[in-house]
Amino acid sequence: MSLSYSTIAWGASLNRGVKPDVQYGYKSKTTAGTVFNFFDSLGSIAFAYAGHNVVLEIQATMPSTPEKPSKGPMWKGVIAAYVAVAICYFPVALIGYWIFGNKVDENIFKSLEKPWWLIAMANLFVVVHLIGSYQIYTMPVFDMIEYLLIKILKFKPSWMLRSVSRNIYVAFTMFIGITLPFFGGLLGFFGGFAFASTTYFLPCIIWLAIYKPRKFSLSWFTNWVSVKSFCFENKKPY
């Protein structure tokens, strides 16, 4: 699904051609606004490439032995996943900016405007994608809710309890999404505040503490750059 609607996005943009009045300069007219947009974009990138704790559950279900640990195929899967994400994201970002410049909308389909049937098809692909991925991303939350209801509040386990609790949670998140029309602007905040810490900061700190690489080696330098970038990112003025 991601490949489908992302291909529609950059393919339709190429077909439309570069706008006559396209501008590639800074969108904001002030220094403060430019700095804020820069940090917001870093947060959005962190959000887009952030990991998820469901990955740990996936790895836990994989067969693993001392001779053949699960980290081998898991590492290959993670690399393949990030390559697939890059294939979907980079053409849209580069071609979208080339065609529309700094006036490109955060939803590139709004910038395209037509053909309406192609945009409708792309949005349908997005809906199908979200319906499927939402079930995976919320599994840890569903587990936590069911643990609270059954172990703490002593509800009797049943399919009705599971159905009602999950539907209430889905309805709540849908309500929040609908009532926040500026949700796209929050992506940078969530990326910088939450996802960057669990994806780029804490793993590097833990790795440095456990393996203690030689100072100024490539691995030492790479991990510390990630740590410092996270600290710098979280200083942006939301």
The pLDDT value given to residue 237 = 47
The pLDDT value given to residue 229 = 66
The domain segmentation of the chain, as residue ranges, is 2-137+180-233
Q: Which residues of the chain have pLDDT under 50?
A: 233-238
The pLDDT value given to residue 238 = 44
The pLDDT value given to residue 52 = 66
The pLDDT value given to residue 184 = 67
CA-wise closest residue to 234 among 48, 47, 43, 45: 43
